[in-house]
Amino acid sequence: MNRVANHWKDYECIDAGNGEKLERWGNIILRRPDPAVIWPSETDADWQHAHAHYHRSKSGGGHWEYKKQFKDSWTITYKNLRFKVSPTGFKHTGLFPEQAANWDFMMDRIANEQREIRVLNLFAYSGGATMACAAAGAGEVVHVDASKGMVAWAKENMILSHLEDRKIRFIVDDVLKFVAREKRRGRTYHAIIMDPPSYGRGPNGEVWKIEEQLYPLIQACMEILDDDPLFFLVNSYTTGFPPTALENLLHATIGKKYVNGVIDAGEIGLPITKSKTVLPCGIYGRWVKEE
């Protein structure tokens, strides 16, 4: 099943074509490359209004061309959440707006549960899912990422969303090592979220390759999942990784252990205002406790 993040007011994908997307973040217009945009588009006047344009370098990486003056960072709102947005040197802005499709699901399930839910968010980045779960009333959210900078950004988002009074633990660590330690401690979670990169390094140089380590990680997570779990969600941006692969992984792991759930997988995307089509942005696979 495909899920579209169509409840934004402060974010809009205005247009997409010719390998790029044109986006409104609050009142700032950004133009960025996107490898999924393989269709043409007329680069009309809207495209010329961008405040900044990210250009890829043939040697890797790239740079921002600033066409209008604006602040280094600003905030945007999604429902009762607020996030810091800032163009980074590697094209990103610190937020993936398509993830709102997953946030809505998490918030709905947590808010409707008549018990205190403990959530583990792995590869948690700047904390969109962390804040969504905390705002929905999770009893505890543990936020794990290998990047100190991203964990600091997540703490800023906590303050912006006025969630300082919620129980959120921020951990800078390699996710596999953290999960192993939680097993030794005997700690369990009712919901586990992960957004693994294709390739990455932990804080002490640990190498992560999704095709080799995603299955062992999910297996390890089975050891710290509560006996009565609420949901298990895997998100991925790895090119060429189909949703069915995630679906099969979940059937081979959590689906075997917990038979009282439903597994589904698909794409997540963003509505494109001009063409009335959808921008594909990644894939998800999830196990959900049957209601």
- What confidence score (pLDDT) does residue 206 get? 80
**Residue at 127 is within a domain:** yes
* Whether 110 and 15 share a structural domain: no
Residue 224 maps to which CATH number? 3.40.50.150
* Whether 183 and 282 share a structural domain: yes
**Residue at 157 is within a domain:** yes
* Whether 134 and 274 share a structural domain: yes
> From residue 246, how far is each of 119, 197, 249, 255, 264 by CA, in Å?
20, 14, 5, 12, 9
pLDDT tens digits, 167-202 = 999 999 999 999 999 999 999 999 999 999 888 887
Query: What are residue 16's phi and psi, to 5 degrees?
Result: -155, 140
* Furthest-apart CA atoms within the chain: distance in Å: 59
**Residue at 113 is within a domain:** yes
Measured distance CA(106)–CA(194) in Å, rounded = 13
Number of structural domains in the chain: 2
* Whether 260 and 283 share a structural domain: yes
Residue 73 maps to which CATH number? 2.60.40.1180
* Whether 42 and 138 share a structural domain: no
pLDDT-flagged residues of the chain (< 50): none
* Whether 44 and 133 share a structural domain: no
* Whether 192 and 105 share a structural domain: yes
CA 221 to chain centre: 18
The dihedral through the CA atoms of 149, 152, 153, 154 has a sign that is positive
Q: What is the pTM of this model?
A: 0.95
**Residue at 134 is within a domain:** yes
> From residue 220, how far is each of 4, 40, 64, 179, 248 by CA, in Å?
30, 44, 40, 7, 17
**Residue at 276 is within a domain:** yes
* Whether 186 and 283 share a structural domain: yes
Contact yes or no for 168/205 (Cβ under 8 A): no
* Whether 24 and 116 share a structural domain: no
Quote the domain boundaries for residue 208: 97-289
* Whether 71 and 172 share a structural domain: no
